[in-house]
Amino acid sequence: MRILLNNSNFNVLKLERGLRARKIEAFVLLWTLVFSFGAHLPRNLANMKRKYVKASKTEIAESSWYMRFTPELVEFLKVCVNHAIEQLAVEQNKVLSEKLAKFQDVLIQDSTIIRLHKSLAKKWPAARSKTVAAGVKVGMLVSAVANSPKSIGIYAETTNELKTLRIGPGNSIDVKGKYVSEILPKLKRQVLDVEVEISFKKPNYNGKSKTRMDTESFRLVAVYNKDEEKYHVYLTNILKDDLSPEDVAKLYGARWDIELIFKELKSRYDLDVVNTKNPQIVEAYIWIAILTLFISRRIYNIVRKHNPKEKMVRYTQLRWSTIFTENASDQLTLILRYYGVERTFETVMNVYQSQALDPHVNRERFRDEFWS
């Protein structure tokens, strides 16, 4: 499988072998899948097929369309996502402030859960469920500088692992060898800034199944939040000379950015709309939503670049994603025109005539004996 990359305002990805078979055009297929989202349309294979038929001006059977959602398609979508990550990484959307001048980037990590049909429980078992259930975890590492994901992974929900945290040497009160939960209720200060040891299980890789305990040292910062009347605890390897405890707390507040990305993926690009029992289609749906996010970010960067600096800050991410979604169909038309595919009135009429037919030919119609 080989990918050809042609540079223009948008990077055109064309799969030359594997997907492009008979009637399926890889270019049209890719961009149809990317722009097949929208709150006004349900995301399912039937809707995607109708969009493809209208875009490509070709007829394709339901079974043939369904068979295109293969492990090879999933791998192709992952290649596209990785390519988009590389492209956006070189387009720095933001600049770190003077306080963070020593750092190359600020990376934010989090994950979100997507519920699946229970028949997929063996492949993607759910965590903490009393009944048979399935769930997939989408883990993401976001770059604050690039304003987009830097790495993405799909895992079973049960991949989460708890770690034991023990406090090491500190000051003011005796904290050595105690748990964080023992110390925080006794604190009277606004800030705790100490070195801690984390104990965790480390598997052996010499063929044995046993695991061994290992430890790592980190800096733990606890800052009292007056509004919530509790301590917010942060774990970091940033030295005290680089950032104060208050700055660490503010920096960790940037995690809200990744929450906004997950909100955008779910509310705009249907990340959590997975109405299928087919594992290949599950993964394809997820990668399609993520790829759509990257296309949105690419166009967003172009829009910001061609506007005065005083207006740039007014292009908020969620408002942008709303406008991007509303104009997705027009964007698809422009991309297909670049490829040489023009949408016409005849194209739309052909879609109406072919796709509006009920596939159940022999089904009896209610009141057929009175009127039809």
Residue 98 pLDDT: 76
**Which pLDDT tens digit goes with each residue over 225-268?**
888 888 888 888 888 888 888 888 877 777 777 888 899 899 88
Q: Where are the domains of the chain?
A: 3-91+277-355, 101-160+259-267, 164-249
Cβ burial, residue 91 (10 Å; 0-12/13-18/19+): middle
Q: Which residue type sits at 347?
A: T
Tell me the C-alpha distance between 170 and 18, whole Å: 60
Mean pLDDT of all residues in 96-120: 82
By CB atoms closer than 10 A (0-12, 13-18, 19+), residue 153 is: exposed
pLDDT band at 50 (very low <50, low <70, confident <90, very high): confident
pLDDT in tens, 180-193: 677 777 776 678 88
Alpha helices in 270-369 (DSSP H): 279-305, 309-312, 317-326, 328-339, 345-355
Instruction: For 12-40, write each residue's pLDDT tens digit.
Output: 333 433 444 446 788 888 888 888 765 45
User: What does the block give as tokens for 236?
Assistant: 């970091």
Q: Which amino acid is at 287?
A: W
* pLDDT at site 11: 37
Q: What whole-number percentage of the chain has pLDDT above 70?
A: 74
pLDDT, average across residues 47-53:
84
pLDDT band at 363 (very low <50, low <70, confident <90, very high): low
